[in-house]
A = this chain, B = another copy of it.
C-alpha cells in the first residue's frame, strides 16, 4: 500500500519535483502489489523529452533505500517492451528491487532519424554510445544519459539506494556490458540476454559505430565489450544467456567472442547457451527470474 501511496502522491502533484527535474508521471498501474509507473522528463544530456518506466515493488515505501536494476532494451524497442512482456515485476516484487527501463534513443520532432528510416540506426537504435558525428552528436548521447543523468534523477526522486545493476537485451545487452566496463564502481552486477558482444566487428555494430563515431575504427574500441573486458580492472558478476535458435546468433551476436575475451582476460563470465530459444521476449521472460536473482545476490548483500 505504501508503494501506491508513493505513486499517488506523485499523481496528485503531477510533477514529482517541479523545482529541479520536471519529471512528470504519465501512467501508473498496479502490478504484483507494486506500481509500474511511466515518467516523462526533460533530458539535458539528450536535449529532448524522454520517457522511462520505473517498477516500484511493494517495499518502495518513502524512506526506503532499495537497489535498482537498469534495463536497456534492444533495437526498435521503447521503454515499454520490457515492462509489458518480460514478467520481471513478479520477481522484482518478491526481491524488493526497483527496475528502471529507459527508451532506446532520443525521440521527438527535432531528433534526427536515419534518412532511410532504417530500424537499426537512429530512432530506437541509439546503441548506448556518445555520438561524435553530425547530426547525431547533438542528441545521441545515450551512454551519458544512462550512466549519469538517469541514475542521478532516479536517486533524487525515488526511495532507492546507490546500489545498481544493469542488464539488457541485444543492443541493450551490448549497452549493459559497455556501461559496466566503462564505469568501474557504478554497478555491482551486470547481465545480458543475447548481447551484441563485439559491435566493432559485426554488421549492426559497424553501421551504428560508423554513423555515430565516424570511420576511424580505433574509436570504436571504446564501445566494444570484447575490447573493454580485456582492460577491465574490476571483476563484476556477469551472467549472459544466449538462445541457440536465435536467428542473429552467428551474424550479429557471437557470444564465443566475449567468452574468449573473458578467458584471455581471466575475467569470470557465466555464459549459458540455451538450446531452442530465439531472440524474442519469450526467451527473456523464460530467464529473467535467473537474472534478477543474479543481481539480487550482490545488491541485497550487506
* Residues in A lying within 8 Å of B, measured CB to CB: 4, 29-33, 36, 84-85, 87, 89-90, 243, 245, 274, 276-278, 280-283, 285-286
Contacts and interface: CB of A to CB of B under 8 A. Distances in A.
20 contacts: A4-B276, A29-B278, A29-B280, A30-B243, A30-B274, A30-B276, A30-B277, A30-B278, A30-B283, A31-B283, A31-B285, A31-B286, A32-B285, A84-B85, A84-B281, A85-B85, A87-B285, A89-B282, A90-B285, A90-B286
B30 A286 contact: yes
B282 A36 contact: yes
A33 B285 CA distance: 11
A32 B286 contact: yes
Nearest to A276: B30
A87 B84 contact: no
B87 A282 contact: no
A282 B84 CA distance: 7
Nearest to A84: B85
Given A30-B282, A84-B84, A87-B90, 4 more contacts: A29-B283, A30-B277, A84-B85, A87-B87
A57 to B, nearest CB: 12
Contacts of A245: 30
Contact of A33 (B30, B89, B286): B286
Q: Kindly list the 8 A-B residue pairs having the minimum CB-CB distance in the complex, ordered from nearest.
A: A87-B87, A31-B282, A30-B276, A30-B277, A29-B282, A32-B286, A4-B276, A29-B278
A276 B5 CA distance: 11
Contacts of A87: 87, 90, 285
Q: Which of A4, A84, A243, A281 has the most CB of B within 10 A?
A: A84
A281 B85 CA distance: 10
Contacts of A278: 29-30
Contacts of A31: 282-283, 285-286
Contacts of A283: 29-31
A32 B30 CA distance: 25
Nearest to A32: B286
Nearest to A244: B30
Contacts of A243: 30
A215 to B, nearest CB: 38
A187 to B, nearest CB: 27
Nearest to A286: B32
Nearest to A35: B276
Contacts of A36: 282
A276 B33 CA distance: 9
